[in-house]
Amino acid sequence: MSSLNLEHIGKKYPNGFEAVKDFNLDIEDKEFIIFVGPSGCGKSTTLRMVAGLEDISSGTLKIGGKVMNDVDPKDRDIAMVFQNYALYPHMTVYDNMAFGLKLRKVPKDQIDKMVKEAAKILDLEHLLDRKPKALSGGQRQRVAMGRAIVRNPRVFLMDEPLSNLDAKLRVQMRTEIAKLHDRLGATIIYVTHDQTEAMTLGSRIVVMKAGVVQQCDTPQVLYNEPCNLFVAGFIGSPQMNFLDAVVEKNGDKIQLNIAGQKFTVPAAKAKALETKGYVGKTVVAGIRPEHLSDDPEDIAKSNGETFKATINVYELLGAETFLYFDFGGTAMTARVNPSSTARTGDAVEFAIDIDKLHVFDKDTEEAIT
């Protein structure tokens, strides 16, 4: 059983700085959990507490149902893969992978079997006699993975393992890691700055800010139902557009007045806004760039939920086009079809996919649902 339970985990460094506050998370056996958040939000600190490399100041850590707070790192049955790989330069790939097993006094023939098995999984068989300096970045990264998997640990902890690789190799290794997870059936906690890694690898993503978990859910839920402004702005690239809006009741409609233009809110959201007393108040409306369209068909279907803006910058990226413009004094981005004819300086009509609109409380920054 490689489930983990982090119960009210906190970390206060000796200088008094609270890097992690009341962190709660139950991780099931074989889950792939991603920690994301801005630099300094406490991702690595949390990972290091799980590994036993950092003392836990408060709360309880359980692995496989057993309390681990005071258990030595080497006895936690965890393997950690770091971004700098930390390979021994004077040892061959084989010896790098065998090193931990030798320390544990695993019999030689067994070590040989385990190293060769891991080398096969990671396509390193032809490189076992090489030293790290004679390897490419991606190959070194695979050796670091190999060193972790020969130990057959219950849990893998990976701290930005791909951040030193170039873009192409990252994509390649990302799919390798996904395959590895399926194949090993291990529980993985993975720290990354990379949105795509988080969205594609994670069975669940934990979004952190200033030591506090903001939301923990599947990539789909985080994207479609962010719980607050921070998560809404952090997940998704380019980021969600945010606009101040005044909630108005006009007849039986609840509308958002954005810079003098009125947009009718769909029924479920309208009900929430009305019953929670937001009529007459200013809220923050959020709309993702992909939910704005200048396609005439979308405009025709939009029930008049459109607005006009002048394009400041036009970026063609191949499979998609980004249009940058101001609306009501706010800088916005639309991700539109590359067949769009809009160019810098054009006045363009945009349809809002109003069903995809998010609304947040301006003070608490929580989503209003």
State in angstroms the smallest separation of the CB of 195 from ligand ATP. Answer: 14
Applying CB under 6 A, the span of 10-18, 114-122, 137-145, 161-169 interacting with ligand ATP comes to: 10-18
In single-letter form, the type of residue at position 364 comes to T
Name the pairing type of β-strands 241-250 and 253-258: antiparallel
Q: Which is nearer to ligand ATP, 40 or 296 (CB)?
A: 40
CB atoms within 10 A of CB 211: 22
Min separation Cβ 158 and ligand ATP, Å = 13
Residue 339 token pair:
């067949």
- DSSP-assigned letter for residue 51: H
In the set 5, 31, 33, 42, which binds ligand ATP (CB under 6 A)? 42
What backbone phi and psi angles, to 5 degrees, belong to 160? 45, 55
**φ, ψ for residue 293, nearest 5 deg:** -145, 140
CA distance 245 to 257: 5
Q: Report the distance separating Cα 263 and Cα 255, nearest Å.
A: 5
- 292 and 364 Cβ atoms separated by less than 8 Å: no
CB of 260 to ligand ATP, least distance (A): 41
SS3 303: coil
Nearer to ligand ATP, 35 or 350 (CB): 35
Q: Closest CB to ligand ATP among 15 and 339?
A: 15
Q: Give whichever of 192 and 228 is closer to ligand ATP, judged by the CB atom.
A: 192
Scanning 15-23, 122-130, 150-158, 168-176 for contacts with ligand ATP by CB under 6 A, the matching segment is: 15-23
Pattern 16-35, binding to ligand ATP, x per CB under 6 A?
-x-x----------------
CA–CA separation, 336 and 342 (whole Å): 10
Only one of the segments 43-51, 122-130, 197-205, 358-366 lies at the binding site for ligand ATP (rule: CB under 6 A); that segment is: 43-51
305-328: buried (b, 16+ CB within 10 Å) or exposed (e) per residue? Answer: bbbebebeebeeeeeebebbbebe
Which two structure tokens, joined as six digits, stand for 328?
């009501």
Identify the bridge partners of residue 292 per DSSP, sorted by sequence position.
352
**Considering the complex, what minimum distance in angstroms separates the CB of residue 298 from ligand ATP?**
38
215 or 340: CB nearest ligand ATP: 215
Please state the length of the chain. Answer: 369
Beta bridge pairs of residue 20? 11
Q: Establish if 36 lies at the interface with ligand ATP (CB under 6 A).
A: no
Between 19 and 334, CB nearer to ligand ATP: 19
Q: Is 339 in the site for ligand ATP (CB under 6 A)?
A: no
- CA dist 151 → 51, 80, 178 (Å): 15, 11, 19
Phi, psi for 239 (deg, rounded to 5):
-75, 165
Stretch that binds ligand ATP, among 24-32, 38-46, 243-251, 291-299 (CB under 6 A): 38-46
| Cα-based torsion angle of the residue sequence 167, 332, 210, 77 in order, rounded to the nearest 10 degrees | -30
Nearest distance, CB of residue 161 and ligand ATP, angstroms: 13
Q: How far apart are CA 170 and CA 154, in angstroms?
A: 25
Question: In this complex, which beta carbon is closest to ligand ATP, that of residue 37 or of residue 146?
Answer: 37
Least separation in angstroms between residue 214's CB and ligand ATP is 13
Q: Which of residues 286-305 bind ligand ATP (CB under 6 A)?
A: none
Segment lying near ligand ATP (by CB under 6 A), choices 39-47, 226-234, 275-283, 358-366 = 39-47
Question: How far apart are CB 159 and ligand ATP at their closest, in Å?
Answer: 8
Choice between 128 and 165, CB closer to ligand ATP: 165
Q: Which residue's CB is nearer to ligand ATP, number 12 or number 131?
A: 12
Q: Is 45 in the site for ligand ATP (CB under 6 A)?
A: yes
- Binding residues (CB under 6 A) for ligand ATP: these are 13, 15, 17, 19, 37, 39-45
